[in-house]
């Protein structure tokens, strides 16, 4: 594992390309917290590091306060890196995760955002005792997808790929190249999307492909050809492609089941897109995560009323895009499939 170097924040110089931070609790008597120029606030604590694009391991010590705490961590464009992590009064909890720093930091065709690494220590009662950041190279999970997967810039929109990192340890990083409005064709064609993703692959990296929501008028042969080409290109770079069927739309029949057309992604030409993905996975001997089946079961289990909370129905009358809750649940479904199929090692799961 190659390290470009680390520097204690207390002695940080402007020329440092990589940063290591040792922060003292804000409440320490007679002591000015080291590196408060990098971390500001208390609820939340917001930290910024002027580092180049790359993969960074973050080692955080949470807690240590006089009262009990509970801290959640987000990075870059609202990526969930750590769920609510409680600590008792005086107790400290060590957590480590990796962050993929890109430019732009969210959707590849979206706004640039702030350069460098941004971390937000929030949650119900955030406590940050110390922090250490270093550049590393780890195995990756790269994501190719649409708006139901991507790092959504603004609330309340949230993609499942945005929530996936919180379930992983520092042994894996997530590089989310999903982008709003993309079809299987436009994702392949845009240099900022699939070509950029391909350039990031190292041997053995997983590449999850979920593209269907915007293939509303894509014929069967074109759709299959696009996915087949992506599979072949990923393999040519040494990666491991995984096909993912799309999350369902929340569109119910009167009997409480999901509509077989709109909800289950049968497009305007009558192409059953999830069925084509399933067939192609068999033909190409490619692992399949059938997220259509999994999300259908969850939405139908909750029913027409309770399932609104998984989507943005109440906020936007939107039955396609997920809320933070829905994206978190769907990311957990993806994680379960990755783990159960041994596509990722158990030690990489938090």
* pLDDT, tens only, 91-113: 999 999 999 999 999 999 998 88
Task: Read off the pLDDT of each residue in 293-317 and give the average, rounded to a whole number.
Answer: 98
What pLDDT is stored for residue 14 in this prediction?
A: 30
Report whether pLDDT(12) > 60.
no
Q: Which residues contact 151 (CB under 8 A, 6 or more apart)?
A: 76, 77, 78, 79, 105, 106, 107, 159, 161, 162, 176, 178
Stronger pLDDT, 28 or 306, i.e. the higher one: 306
Q: What is the spatial distance between Cα 112 and Cα 120, in angstroms, rounded to a whole number?
A: 18
Tens digits of residue pLDDT in 51-60: 999 999 999 9
Report whether pLDDT(27) > 60.
no
What pLDDT is stored for residue 37 in this prediction?
A: 60
Which tokens sit at 277? 């993905």
Q: Which residues contact 168 (CB under 8 A, 6 or more apart)?
A: 97, 98, 141, 174, 335, 344, 348, 349, 350
Task: Using pLDDT thresholds of 50, 70 and 90, give the confidence band for residue 38.
Answer: confident
Task: Read off the pLDDT of each residue in 29-44 and give the average, rounded to a whole number.
Answer: 60
Tens digits of residue pLDDT in 149-207: 999 999 999 999 999 999 999 999 999 999 999 999 999 999 999 999 999 999 999 99
Full 3-state SS string of 302-340: HHHHHHHHHEEHHHHCEEEEECHHHHHHHHHHHHHHHHH
Is residue 188 helix, strand or coil? Answer: helix
Q: What is the pTM of this model?
A: 0.89
Report whether pLDDT(1) > 80.
no
Report whether pLDDT(20) > 70.
no
Which tokens sit at 141? 């999970």
What pLDDT is stored for residue 282 in this prediction?
A: 98
What pLDDT is stored for residue 26 in this prediction?
A: 35
- Main-chain dihedrals φ then ψ at residue 326, nearest 5 degrees: -60, -45
Instruction: Return the number of other C-beta atoms located less than 10 Å from residue 43's C-beta.
Output: 12
Structural domains of the chain in order of their starting residue, each with its CATH number = 9-136 (2.60.120), 140-348 (3.40.50.1110)
Tens digits of residue pLDDT in 276-299: 999 999 999 999 999 999 999 999
Tens digits of residue pLDDT in 219-236: 999 999 999 999 999 999
Contact 64, 137 (CB under 8 A): no
What pLDDT is stored for residue 253 in this prediction?
A: 97
Report whether pLDDT(9) > 90.
no
What pLDDT is stored for residue 112 in this prediction?
A: 81
Greatest alpha-carbon pair distance for the chain in Å reads 70
């Amino acid at each position: 594992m190659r390290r470009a170097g680390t520097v204690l924040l207390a002695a940080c110089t402007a020329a440092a390309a990589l940063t290591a931070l040792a922060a003292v609790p804000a409440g320490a008597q007679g002591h000015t917290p080291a590196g408060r120029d990098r971390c500001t606030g208390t609820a939340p604590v917001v930290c910024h590091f002027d580092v180049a694009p790359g993969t960074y391991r973050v080692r955080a010590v949470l807690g240590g306060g006089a009262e009990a705490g509970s801290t959640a961590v987000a990075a870059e464009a609202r990526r969930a890196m750590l769920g609510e992590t409680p600590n008792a009064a005086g107790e400290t909890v060590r957590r480590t995760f990796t962050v993929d720093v890109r430019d732009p930091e969210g959707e590849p065709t979206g706004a640039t955002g702030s350069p460098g690494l941004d971390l937000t220590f929030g949650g119900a009662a955030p406590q940050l005792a110390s922090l250490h950041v270093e550049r590393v190279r780890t195995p990756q999970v790269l994501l190719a997808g649409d708006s139901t997967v991507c790092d959504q810039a603004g609330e309340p929109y949230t993609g499942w790929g945005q929530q996936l990192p919180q379930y992983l340890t520092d042994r894996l990083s997530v590089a989310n190249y999903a982008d709003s409005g993309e079809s299987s064709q436009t994702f392949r064609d845009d240099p900022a999307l699939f070509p950029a993703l391909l350039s990031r692959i190292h041997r053995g990296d997983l590449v999850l492909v979920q593209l269907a929501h915007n293939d509303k008028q894509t014929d069967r042969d074109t759709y299959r050809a696009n996915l087949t080409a992506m599979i072949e290109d990923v393999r040519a770079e040494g990666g491991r492609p995984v096909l993912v069927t799309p999350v369902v739309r929340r569109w119910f029949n009167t009997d409480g089941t999901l509509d077989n057309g709109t909800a289950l992604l049968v497009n305007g030409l009558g192409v059953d897109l999830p069925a084509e993905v399933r067939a192609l996975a068999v033909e190409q001997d490619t692992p399949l995560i059938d997220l259509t089946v999994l999300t259908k079961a969850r939405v139908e289990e909750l029913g027409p009323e309770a399932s609104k909370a998984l989507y943005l129905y109440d906020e936007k009358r939107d039955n396609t895009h997920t809320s933070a809750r829905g994206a978190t649940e769907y990311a957990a479904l993806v994680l379960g499939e990755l783990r159960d199929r041994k596509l990722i090692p158990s030690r990489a799961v938090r």
